[in-house]
Structure 1
């Protein structure tokens, strides 16, 4: 298995689009045609901060990954928030209320039981059960910076394999990401993501790499180390027929750069991160419900851009969304 190296998300987009066009093989999955690589892939991204897609042919939604990162950090799996920004998300829900395989509860409230999570805005504030895997990563690497055991587990056989009658579980949503490992190498935090299956458009370039490098930068800040390298490993890498012309256009892009921004202030503890998450979550609810009474003011430039990215979704406030990150400012305020 060869490793493909890219500087950032844009070079990843172009490089993997070319690879998929050259090596992709047609296969029918659940009544849909997709094109998949006949081998597993490892993609090394040397500058994980270069996570903002600026290739216009991709038609990337810059708001969605910020919304999803907030949803993941909250530990929720209810559809109310993310489906407001991406209506088709409900197509992947078994009950129209939650995303059964969503990562948030598995990140923050892992409980090892066989009942599916149902954690939303009103429920999670009083939900104290389960293991916070974010806390495990931070506590372990603060105690032993050389540890190779800092792994977040997402795949959960108790919930994902069988139903209550012992039959294979019928569900639209089994987690694609299986685990995430964090290792400090040479004073920098490296991240290794392992996926059983990965869609190039909706998954990898849409939200996955953004979400995980975003988390990498947050954890690095809390741990007091620099951001290292990001490794994205997928056993099956593919795209669907509906995206074929777009993938071909991306593969032919020649004028692009992997621009990034280094924030001056992130979070100094997991508690600090959670406090900012609560402020951002309350802010998002006000925006979604149309009752915003004040523009969010956060000390962290990282969190400020996070909130303003969500603010920019709402046309009545879009002009008020000012960014520290010039790349964000370009794709949101100058387009």
Structure 2
């Protein structure tokens, strides 16, 4: 196993790209040449708030992780929303409407029913008629910590065997979207009032997965769960059983590995929510305001009375209106200035 420790996402970018170039082996998969590590890769990020990519060679798009983070927190997997921010996501959809392996429903509406998740604003399957139950795994995490602050059971499962393994005829599932992330494990540090998160991935693409959205999404989740559980932000652990990139990104990976100076943009938000209910109230408001922005029916910039949610909202505001705003996190001002053609 390969192991490493990084301060934040930028040092991860440089370190992981260097490791891939040095240790990666070539293999053909699905008709493409893939460069992958021959053994699992486990790394620690000591400051999970350093999640904004500022390595210029990466050419990171800052709107994508904010959009995916809202997609996850609202329990959705529809392309109508995410496709607005990431056009090529439709390439991974089986039906052109939903991303069947999308994590959102698995986080907030897990049910273990054979029919694929299809989540927009309402749920298509009548759970009661099927005599099945639906689980909000965010709620499970909170209840587990209420019962025991040192719990080792606060795990979110992403894989859903009835949906992912076989079709209704018992044949292996044929799908473009088999979930890469398998579980998230939250645990309080034994000697500190801090929350750690360990994420296990069966397969992890360095370019479009880990560096684009995964590390941001999960450290973002660690930050808001730390607030919900009244703990400080601890450390982030990431285990990728297969860590790789595709040949088409060879020049990009080589370029990142040559980066000489690495700076991390650490920034912890002040927050006004104190439990899952208050968090969900703000999530629902953010969801509503994002829909207005996307449809062009927004009014003035609104104030969530919360720096964490204000910056989350402003990312959507800037993308959809092309109007310049001031973020609480100063690094976001720089990133969106590079990315957005402001009016």
**Could you say which TM-score interval applies, normalised by the shorter chain?**
over 0.9
Q: Distance in 2 between matches of 1:170 and 1:302?
A: 39
* Counterpart check, 1:138 vs 2:147: no
Q: Distance in 2 between matches of 1:47 and 1:79?
A: 32
Deviation at 1:334, TM superposition (A): 6.1
Matched-pair contact (CA < 8 Å) for 2:2–2:39: no
**1:23-62 CA distance string (max 9 Å, x none):** 1111111001110000101010000000000011101110
Matched-pair contact (CA < 8 Å) for 1:191–1:216: yes
Tell me the SS of whatever aligns to 1:310.
helix
Q: Distance in 1 between matches of 2:59 and 2:244?
A: 18
Aligned equivalent of 1:296: 302
- Pairing of 1:20-99 with structure 2 (within 5 A): 20-99=20-99
Aligned equivalent of 2:120: 120
Aligned equivalent of 2:108: 108
- Pairing of 1:158-169 with structure 2 (within 5 A): 158-169=162-173
Aligned equivalent of 2:214: 208
Closer, same or farther: CA 6–227 of 1 in aligned 2, 3 Å: same
Deviation at 1:296, TM superposition (A): 2.2
Closer, same or farther: CA 263–171 of 1 in aligned 2, 3 Å: same
Output the TM-score relative to the length of structure 1: 0.96
Tell me the SS of whatever aligns to 2:252.
helix
Matched-pair contact (CA < 8 Å) for 2:180–2:204: yes
Match for residue 265 of structure 1 among 247, 260, 271 = 271
Tell me the SS of whatever aligns to 2:292.
helix
The count of aligned residue pairs is: 332
Deviation at 1:262, TM superposition (A): 1.6
Deviation at 1:322, TM superposition (A): 1.6
* Counterpart check, 1:325 vs 2:329: yes
**1:59-113 CA distance string (max 9 Å, x none):** 1110010000001000001110111111100000000010000100000011111
Q: Distance in 1 between matches of 2:271 and 2:74?
A: 21
- Pairing of 1:310-321 with structure 2 (within 5 A): 310-314=316-320, 316-319=321-324, 321=325
Tell me the SS of whatever aligns to 1:80.
helix
Deviation at 1:180, TM superposition (A): 0.3
Instruction: Give 5+ residue unaligned stretches, structure 2.
Output: none
Tell me the SS of whatever aligns to 1:130.
coil
Q: Distance in 2 between matches of 1:268 and 1:112?
A: 30
Deviation at 1:121, TM superposition (A): 2.8
Aligned-pair Cα RMSD in Å: 1.5
Tell me the SS of whatever aligns to 1:88.
helix
Q: Distance in 1 between matches of 2:338 and 2:218?
A: 27
Matched-pair contact (CA < 8 Å) for 1:75–1:104: yes
Closer, same or farther: CA 127–219 of 1 in aligned 2, 3 Å: farther
Q: Distance in 2 between matches of 1:277 and 1:242?
A: 37
Task: Judge which range, 280-289 or 262-271, deviates more.
Answer: 262-271
Task: Judge which range, 82-91 or 293-302, deviates more.
Answer: 293-302
Output the TM-score relative to the length of structure 2: 0.94
Tell me the SS of whatever aligns to 1:318.
coil
Matched-pair contact (CA < 8 Å) for 2:8–2:51: yes
**1:239-281 CA distance string (max 9 Å, x none):** 0111110000000001221121121225211011111111111
Instruction: Give 5+ residue unaligned stretches, structure 1.
Output: none
Tell me the SS of whatever aligns to 1:207.
helix
